[in-house]
Amino acid sequence: MQPDSLTVESGLEALESSTDFHGTVEPLDGLDDIETCEHIALFYRNRDERFATVAPFIWQGIEQGERVMYVIDDLPQSAILAELRTGDVDVDAALDTGQLTFHSLDETYLRSGRFDADDMLEVYADAIEEAKAEYPGLRVTANTNFILDEHATLEEFMAYESRVNTLFEGEDCIALCHYDCNRIPPEILVDVIRTHPHLIYDETVCHNFYYTPPEEFFQPDEPIRDVERMLNTLVDRSQARAQLKETVEELEESNDRLKRFAYVASHDLQEPLRMISSYLQLLESRYAPELDEEASEYIEFAVDGSDRMREMVNGLLAYSRIDMEEAEFESVDCDDVVDAMLSDLQIQISETDATIVFDPLPAVDGDAKQLEQLFSNLVSNAIKYSGDDPPHVEISGERHGNRCLFSVRDNGIGIEDEYVDQIFEIFNRLHANDEFPGTGIGLSLCQKIVSHHGGDIWVDSEPGTGTTFSFTLPRAR
């Protein structure tokens, strides 16, 4: 077993990657002055807030095959289990094998009738030893409401909390303690803040500059250290905010420059391109009788190339226009958008014998022209990338709260998993032009339009069976 592979980073990663924890996880990198240790305090104000953190923490432990210990306090085991069963992780299987265990206060904190720090540290030391024999690490989570019931003096408990940090040092062990902010008085919470290097409050994981290492916690020079810490925190926060503002301004400026560059370049390239195409055509029509077969073929290639380049430049211009033009959003009836799109694609549809089906679609808040382009690119791709059968395309859309979720599903050739991330990149294509003609701009334009509307777009595909593009848009106000 590698020493200390179960680190605070891995615990925080559980929160960062969980869809149940919606908050911010402050990165640890760059925080040189802060001591890290595998002991996290959660300050919660209600049950939802509590399990949005506790559940992913436990699920990650189970998934990683670790030993998971839950010390029960205010809620019965059945209520905790009900919360833990809401995820994809098989909590009951972990219970059956003994990987996940629940412990009462009488077996742990109050083993000898009242709280005794030495006793509890022994419980954890034993648990660490036991876990080591069978598991890659030990993950503990405990509620702390019992400290309110005068089972322990505050000093005793805080001294214990700071000793836990030392106990876990160098061990594959991580603990998450939950503190009920509504019930635990502020004078206790202040000490909780000082004894936990990592805190979670208001859906934000903070690395705690107020943390006081155990060896300092009860020392006479502690107030001086506290002042130092508070001042350093203020300075650090102010410097970070100022630096962030500067960086955002720089990025905004450079982003604006890039957008203008793409727009001007694509706009200004059109004229010389038009000249190349027209003179090539002139050459072809006027001098055709004097040219040998090879020369005519060269001209044909050149015309072909300039046509393709014009399509690309037009695509790039359409792409950069979305950034440059401030569109006024309004309520847009997606049924009208799809009707307009279908009449534009009429030739492609009848030439390929494609069927397009759709149910009534919800109205969204957006720019009708851009949305027509979005549906048109997706449906035209669905027809273009069809397999041997005639294309069958289903468009659907439904409201989900403030958003509408749309999908365009086809029965075409599909996309291999490994290429799924690449297809939204501008000019990225998976096929040669003689196989499927195109410029590689369509999907990047779709992505830009959707993100301009504050939505997301993604793809699910099965090679040989078909592809579904899904996207979200804001519902009409």
SS3 content of the chain, % helix, strand, coil (to 5): 50, 20, 30
Work out whether 379 is an interface residue with ligand ADP (CB under 6 A).
no
Work out whether 11 is an interface residue with ligand ADP (CB under 6 A).
no
Helices (H) and strands (E) in the chain, counts: 14, 15
Q: Which of the residues 93 through 152 are near ligand ADP (CB under 6 A)?
A: none
- Considering the complex, state which of residue 281 and residue 433 has its C-beta at the smaller distance from ligand ADP: 433
The owner of tokens 């019931």 is: 149
In this structure, are residues 457 and 471 in contact, taking their beta carbons and an 8 Å threshold? yes
Work out whether 440 is an interface residue with ligand ADP (CB under 6 A).
yes
Which residues, 6+ apart, have CB-to-CB distance to 22 below 8 Å? 52, 203
Work out whether 370 is an interface residue with ligand ADP (CB under 6 A).
no
Amino acid at position 259, single letter: K
Work out whether 391 is an interface residue with ligand ADP (CB under 6 A).
no
Which residue in the shown chain puts its C-beta closest to ligand ADP?
A: 438
| In the complex, minimum distance from the CB of residue 208 to ligand ADP, in angstroms, rounded to a whole number | 46
Work out whether 341 is an interface residue with ligand ADP (CB under 6 A).
no
Listing DSSP states for 401-435 in one string gives: TTEEEEEEEE-S----GGGTTTTTSTT--SS-TTT
Work out whether 393 is an interface residue with ligand ADP (CB under 6 A).
no
Work out whether 395 is an interface residue with ligand ADP (CB under 6 A).
no
- Considering the complex, state which of residue 104 and residue 355 has its C-beta at the smaller distance from ligand ADP: 355
Closest Cα partner for 448 from 325, 348, 344, 286? 325
- The interface region with ligand ADP, picked from 192-200, 241-249, 318-326, 439-447 by CB under 6 A, is 439-447
Work out whether 84 is an interface residue with ligand ADP (CB under 6 A).
no
- Written as six digits, the tokens of 278 are 């027209």
Q: Which of the residues 444 through 463 are near ligand ADP (CB under 6 A)?
A: 444
In this structure, are residues 319 and 445 in contact, taking their beta carbons and an 8 Å threshold? yes
Which residues, 6+ apart, have CB-to-CB distance to 245 below 8 Å? none
Work out whether 375 is an interface residue with ligand ADP (CB under 6 A).
no
Q: Nearest 5 degrees, angle CA 53-CA 58-CA 62?
A: 155
| In the complex, minimum distance from the CB of residue 90 to ligand ADP, in angstroms, rounded to a whole number | 35
Work out whether 429 is an interface residue with ligand ADP (CB under 6 A).
yes
- Considering the complex, state which of residue 6 and residue 413 has its C-beta at the smaller distance from ligand ADP: 413
- The interface region with ligand ADP, picked from 34-42, 219-227, 395-403, 435-443 by CB under 6 A, is 435-443
Chain residues in the site for ligand ADP (CB under 6 A): 377, 381-382, 385, 410, 412-415, 423, 429-431, 438-444, 467
